[in-house]
Amino acid sequence: MATFDVEEVLSKLTVREKIDLLAGIDNWHTAPIPEHGIPSIRVSDGPNGIRGTRFFNGSPAACFPCGTAMGATFDKALLHEAGVLMGKESKAKGASVILGPTINMHRAPLGGRGFESISEDPVLAGLGAAEIVKGIESTGVVATIKHFVCNDQEHERQAVDSIVTQRALREIYLLPFQLVVRDSRPSAFMTSYNKVNGKHVSESLSMIQTILRGEWGWEGLVMSDWFGTYSTVDAVNAGLDLEMPGPTKWRGALVRSAIAANNISLHTLDARAREVLKFVNRCAQAGVEENAIERTNDTPETAKLLRKLAADSIVLMKNERHLLPLKKDKSTLIVGPNAKTATYCGGGSASLPAYYAITPFDGISSKLKQEPAYTVGCYGHKELPLLGAQLKNAEGKPGIDMRFYNEPPTVKNRQVIDQLSIVRTDMFLVDYSHPLLNEEFYATVEGTFTAEEDGDYEFGLIVWGKGNLYVDGKLVIDNSTKQTQGTTFFGSGTIEEKATMPIKEGQSYHVLLEYSSSSTSTLKPEVLASRGGAIRLGGAMVLDPKAEIKKAVALAGEFDQVIICAGLNSDWEGEGSDRETMALPDYMDELISSIASENPNTIVVMQSGTPVEMPWLERVPALIHAWFGGNETGNGIADVLFGDVNPSAKLPLTFPIRLQHNPAYLNYRSERGRVLYGEDVYIGYRWYEAIEQAVLFPFGHGLSYTSFSISSLSITTDKEQITTRVSVKNTGNVAGAEVVQYYIAQANPSIRRAVKELKGYSKVYLQPGEEKTVEVNLNKKYATSFWDEGRNAWISEKDTYCVIVGTTSATTDNNSLRASFDVEKTEWWTGL
């Protein structure tokens, strides 16, 4: 892909051609103008892996640990490596642009996309994301930082007005974006869905032009989130360069009309087109061919880094009696719904088909000298597990046969337009097309189910469109006649309609789904309006939860050690809806509590992208938090459980005891079209420390299999920076890493400020007995300033400031070091 002279090409373009550049042509490509040497650029999701151009039946990819897991590493060098691998993955998928990383703030534990974002702290999020961006862009691929700004909930995300003070906006919600611009200069920004203080960000002159491009001096392309453009004139004039996806809804002829009416000037049109042309030129650095074939990058090197990321993101939360690491020669029982399922990513645009996915059961089994026992204990799903892998297609292989038609099933001998054999029965068809298929189409999903045991079996069907499920010719689920709006498929799908039927071991059943595309739906989803639609077909044996728990408890008493694999999955955490509770699903708390009471050597492996309540915590001697760990989830968990990796991660989020304790509890979700950020600057640990509220686990918490000491803190300051030095020693007998965290507290601020705030961190690796001096430089104005709403600028006040150095935010006189410095003169500043 060759570069060109932007100004020369711009001068040759007609008004119509310039307008054509301002919107995508489909879900993943920008508009080409071949006669002027302008190629089409491919973009791809996203935050924890590069999916390519297809949700439906896409090519497999490397799935990275989720955003909160990446934040938990507190490891800038490792995140840079991850960014480099993301760039390589992007090239393999023929994409020059990655839609990520995500750095929205965790206001509350329930955010549906919380798992995508890095932290509740803007400094940890901003510094970590900057390293990912630098890694990505070192390969020539463009990173798109998102979602700018305050896209912190899923409820009515396109309509909600986030009402937030200027101080909170600057100190919390804009700050991670500011740090990314300062440290890595990403080539693209994506605007958020929501409004901020009355204006959608995609049409906010203040956000895009005044702050981003003006005050911060950033240069690059601003694109909308998908279907996140809501106007023609306002969005173009505000600086939104690219409407995505295409074909356009708001540009094209509407921009031509606006130019004719002088509502958009030719100068402004040139400014928008110029940014797109510069963006195309920038993408040439990736060396990706236009419309490249999608390939894979499934190499041993990829697997090695993914395994390290998975293990290094796992937080050792609790370890009484030094129960961990486990012994490999002891008899072991594995329990739980997350054990034999690879819960490797959350739902929505972050999801993708992985090259492979290691389950915790497989990872743990590979370490043990004798095969572990297993029982599920309870279910953990929200929607029934996908049915595809339980079926056989016409060739006797796992999966289903899917056929597409232009005519409904009432037409005899209708022509098959396309036929596919696939395994995954979670089919998001918005990017599926066939040249002979009509806008409104029909499909069948067909396979054979063979029962492995006697009992009752439950089928579940979700559609965006219409669907009827037949088993042995009998209609068992009608999701056509009466439909109810659900939360799946970005809020476009129905609820899961279910049906239960008795099955006999060894007997085979013919399963047939008749489907019609989204235009036939009786519902009108608020989020998306696109062709194709979606299907989700699931099924599972009906369990008696009390009997299953009783069975698991009886087994637990027979083994030396029990590992419970519990938590959430992409059913519960995904784009389009927020969680309603912090509680674990159904009977999971009872399962954990009962087994822990039976066997004192019970270890819980918890998987979730955001905090969960743990009413059983006092009974459980050992706990690790494993997030959604990507392809290598199971191996990463096993590496930590058995001590092949010494855990070194720290919590990037506070885990409250109860949902009601979190700072946004009374102000989370849209009410009459707005959400009040009533906690102001007090999110996360800032809130809990300010009101002295006890928490389950504090921000920055994380244990190790060794021990560390920190000593000899010294600081020196000049006009620009604070130079800190501290000695860190490994006082145990195992090699490991410690994260040194640097907080700042102002002695006598003129307004209320947080007790302390994270301003920097460093991870140091030490052999047993080894001691190192760690030097960290903190930017002085960033470390001391707050936003002065009276002056509309940052202010660094004349005062005394304390540097607090520890290994958790829960600092005390006994576990931290402190030193002071003075700011001699009050100063105001703006920009970077």
State the amino acid at position 327 in one-letter form: K
β partners of residue 551 = none
DSSP 661: G
HEC states along 797-812? CCEEEEEEEECCCCCC
DSSP 214: I
| 46 touches 98 (CB < 8 A) | yes
β partners of residue 512 = 446, 470
Tokens coding 474: 């009998």
CA distances from 445 to 387, 421, 465, 470, 508 (A): 11, 10, 14, 10, 17
Annotate 87-126 with b (16+ C-beta within 10 A) or e (fewer).
bbbbbbbbbbbbbbbbbbbbbbbbbbbbbbbbbbbbbbbb
| 664 touches 108 (CB < 8 A) | yes
Tokens coding 619: 């009974």
Q: What span, in angstroms and rounded, lies between the C-alpha atoms of 30 and 28?
A: 7
Burial class (CB in 10 A: 0-12, 13-18, 19+), 321: exposed
- Which residue in the block uniquely carries the two structure tokens 């009783």? 550
Tokens coding 251: 């540009």
Does the active-site annotation cover 225? yes
HEC states along 564-588? EEEECCCCCCECCECCCCCCCCCCH
Is the dihedral angle over the CA atoms 423, 424, 428, 431 positive or is it negative? negative
β partners of residue 763 = 739
Q: What span, in angstroms and rounded, lies between the C-alpha atoms of 780 and 825?
A: 13
Q: What span, in angstroms and rounded, lies between the C-alpha atoms of 571 and 345?
A: 10
Instruction: Choose, from 20, 161, 225, 431, the residue flagged as catalytic.
Output: 225
Q: How many CB atoms lie within 10 A of CB 313?
A: 32
Query: Which of 54, 57, 53 lies closest to 421, judged by CA?
Result: 57
Query: Which of 83, 107, 128 lies closest to 739, judged by CA?
Result: 128
Query: Which of 531, 461, 555 lies closest to 500, judged by CA?
Result: 461
Chain centre distance of CA 455:
38
Chain centre distance of CA 619:
31
Q: What span, in angstroms and rounded, lies between the C-alpha atoms of 739 and 761?
A: 7
Angle between helix 175-184 and helix 122-137 axes, rounded to 10 deg: 30
Q: What span, in angstroms and rounded, lies between the C-alpha atoms of 143 and 101?
A: 7
Is the dihedral angle over the CA atoms 228, 232, 238, 242 positive or is it negative? positive
CA distances from 104 to 186, 212, 234, 663 (A): 16, 16, 24, 16
β partners of residue 737 = 765
Q: What span, in angstroms and rounded, lies between the C-alpha atoms of 90 and 302?
A: 13
Please give the positions annotated as active site: 225
